[in-house]
Amino acid sequence: MNSEPSIISDIAHINPELTNSSWKGCKIAYIDIASIGCGVYNSKPKILPYDDAPSRARRVVEQGDILISMVRPNRRSMIQISNPVDNTVASTGFALLRPKRIEDSDYLFGIISNPHFTIELEMLAYGAAYPAISTKDLCSVPIYLPSEKHRDEISGILRPISQLLSMNLDSIIERKVDAIFRAWFVDFDLSDSLHNSKIGPIPEGWSTKFLTEIAEIDRGFSYTSEYLCEKEEGTTMINLATFLHGGGYKDSGLKHISANFDSRYLINRGDVLIATVDLTPELRVVGSPLIVPSHLEKKCIFSQDLLRLNLKQDTSIGRGYLYHWLKVRRGILKQWSSGSTVSRFPQKALNSYPILIPPPELLEKFEAIFEQSLRAVESHRRRNQQLLGLKNKLLNQLMSGHLQNLSLKHQEDLA
């Protein structure tokens, strides 16, 4: 173990390769910052012609590379690349770290994903509204660099945890439920005859209603930047940055406020929220829905750019069906949106937003599937939190050269 601290560039090449004119005409898999969470993909890389890609699509990605966002380091957008498809390219909003030894990829990602490393980057970030770091900042954070043999031992311990954490089971479950919804309520695989309606052909005996006929609508808490505070000092607030494009959520976008608020803004597990605004070309979440997960229901509120849809007691529609209908039909709301810099749809548009009403028995079957999937996702999240806690505990121990103190209990946990 070296006693003197080292820096990232001692074991990794920083931003080693960019695309050039020879890429013209190629299809690429593009990774942007919005598609990356902490160690997982929020969404798959976008397949598109290189000629049509954003100007930021320049960093050439290879097996074992590490991507870390250079903007808003507190969001911890970072990932270790495993089995990339040909012509994978990342945004220049990332720093790309390519280990000088491929065997160091796990060790390198362990350093980058350690919360203490994130804290160091936050202290170096500049800019109030859009805090960012430079490559120089990234390479100024001291790290401990043991011998190659010691690094390989540490990598062998971290690798199985990282592999488990990178298994995006949430996304797999969501896709399966999405497929069932589309088969039953979009493609009508269970129906033989159709009739015309205001939303096109639908099965015989089915009907349509407007959204405001089946749900009451609440707008979220109105706040200004002066209300924002550190996590430890305030109340958690779901806002636009929490939403994923097309539906779903990410914890990295949560804000915290230090203001008094009415209890009507408190949210509960399973509440259906919908985003009314797009702030930037990268965000594009207008119309995206969200089901509030269980870990966010303890004194958590929702912001002014979100609407909560409270289903009326006399409707057969459930929250799972409503959430998936909004995902599939979000284009209806986008067509009512206006504004160039900030695009939003007016709340009154929901008076004309159509909802398909299937038979109650079919809705009940789908709702049972959805509730089972919700429980599976929440169980997976709890397991990941336990794994992440174990990983961070090990990192603090291992990166300080205390590999020999790793208990038999931890080794059994990893097995």
Q: pLDDT per residue over 194-211, tens digit each?
A: 999 888 999 999 999 999
What pTM did the predictor assign?
A: 0.67
**Which pLDDT value is given to residue 153?**
80
pLDDT at 415 (0 to 100): 44
Other CB atoms within 10 A of residue 337 CB: 17
In 3D space, the residue among 48, 91, 100 whose CA is nearest the CA of residue 67 turns out to be 91
Lowest mean per-residue pLDDT among 112-121, 247-256, 312-321:
247-256
Percent of the chain exceeding pLDDT 70 equals: 90
DSSP 254-305: -EEE-S---GGGB--TT-EEEE-EE-STTT--TT-EEEPPGGG-SSEEEBTT
Residue 364: per-residue pLDDT: 95
Task: Give the closest residue to 326 by CA, choosing from 260, 243, 405.
Answer: 243
13-17, 86-90, 95-99, 127-131, range with the lowest pLDDT:
127-131
Element (H, E) at 151: helix 148-166
User: Residue with structure tokens 């996590």?
Assistant: 231
The pLDDT value given to residue 400: 58
For residue range 237-270, list pLDDT tens digits in order: 998 888 877 787 777 678 889 888 899 999 988 8
Dump pLDDT digits (tens) for 263-306: 999 998 889 999 988 766 556 788 888 888 877 767 899 999 99
Q: Is residue 387 scored above 80 in pLDDT?
A: no
Q: Is the pLDDT of residue 1 over 50?
A: no
Confidence of residue 404 (pLDDT cuts 50, 70, 90): very low
Region 91-119: mean pLDDT is 90
Nearest to 352 by CA among 197, 198, 247: 198
At residue 184, the pLDDT reads 96
pLDDT band with cut points at 50, 70 and 90 for residue 411: very low
At 86 the three-state DSSP class reads coil
Res. 323 pLDDT band, cuts 50 70 90 = very high
Q: How confident is the model at residue 388 (pLDDT cuts 50, 70, 90)?
A: confident
Query: How is 98-136 classified by DSSP, letter by letter?
Result: EESSGGGHHHHHHHHHSHHHHHHHHHH-B-SSS-B--HH
Q: Which two tokens stand for residue 36?
A: 């990356």
| pLDDT score recorded for residue 410 | 42
Strand partners, 89: 30, 60
Structure tokens at 248: 């779903």
